[in-house]
């Protein structure tokens, strides 16, 4: 068994005009593919090569000697998850269980959007902004570089990739504009609700 990034859940140009086909091609076709190839090369012949990706991450998360393996495996997981957090004609107000959790934790969707934006903008350098559910309430958190909540067994619902390669071709250094575009136009709240089932 090998780690696979899988297929994109939509065509490369489907997220335009908010994320260009060129960015998706570069991000998925180069960066994501490289993490997949490196992870499988590093796993080949080890006792973890047949383990599920989440199991691998949880085994090696706090082992400095496995940092290179962790970074590549985590980036395969993070990117695959990120692609599923986006969809054409997404965004807008969520429905269902997620909407209830947003109202409970953030006193409404607009407050949630503001807090997500503020927390995400706090990432220094590369990383991710997440919606997680460690207990019975949702929270917004950030991780640096390749780190991921799933490695610590925390339930993940949504992420936005904040590495520059996720947005630089389209937005240059305007990370705030990228965040706003994703949250308002591409966020896949249906996927979030599916994670709650």
pLDDT score, position 16: 98
* Each residue's pLDDT tens digit, 11-69: 999 999 999 999 999 999 999 999 999 999 999 999 999 999 999 999 999 999 999 99
Q: Which residues pair with 187 in a beta bridge?
A: 86
Residues 79 and 6: beta-carbon distance below 8 Å: no
Residue 2 pLDDT level (bands cut at 50, 70, 90): confident
DSSP H or E stretch at residue 27:
none
171 pLDDT higher than 90 = yes
Q: What is the pLDDT of residues 133-160, one digit of tens each?
A: 998 999 999 999 999 999 999 999 999 9
Report which of 180, 73, 65, 167 is spatially closest to residue 126, judged by C-alpha positions: 167
| pLDDT tops 90 at residue 103 | yes
Domains contained in the chain, CATH given: 20-197 (3.55.40.20)
What's the Cα-to-Cα distance from 73 to each of 3, 92, 118, 133, 163, rounded to whole Å?
Answer: 8, 32, 28, 22, 16
pLDDT number for residue 44: 95
Q: What pLDDT is stored for residue 37 in this prediction?
A: 97
């Amino acid at each position: 068994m090998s780690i696979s990034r899988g297929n994109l859940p939509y065509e490369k140009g489907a997220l335009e005009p908010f994320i260009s086909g060129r960015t998706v091609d570069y991000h998925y076709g180069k960066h994501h593919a490289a993490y997949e190839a490196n992870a499988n090369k590093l796993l080949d012949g080890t006792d973890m090569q047949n383990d599920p990706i989440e199991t691998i991450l949880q085994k090696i998360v706090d082992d400095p000697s496995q940092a290179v393996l962790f970074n590549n495996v985590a980036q395969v997981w993070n990117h695959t998850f990120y692609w599923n957090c986006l969809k054409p004609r997404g965004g807008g107000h969520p429905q269902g269980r997620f909407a209830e959790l947003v109202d409970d934790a953030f006193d409404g969707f607009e407050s949630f959007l503001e807090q997500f934006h503020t927390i995400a903008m706090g990432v220094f350098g590369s990383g991710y902004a997440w919606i997680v559910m460690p207990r019975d309430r949702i929270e917004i958190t950030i991780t640096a570089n390749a780190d991921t909540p799933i490695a610590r067994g925390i339930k993940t619902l949504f992420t936005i990739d904040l590495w520059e390669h996720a947005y630089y071709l389209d937005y240059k250094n305007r990370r705030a504009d990228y965040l706003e575009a994703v949250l308002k136009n591409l966020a896949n709240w249906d996927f979030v609700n599916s994670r709650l089932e």
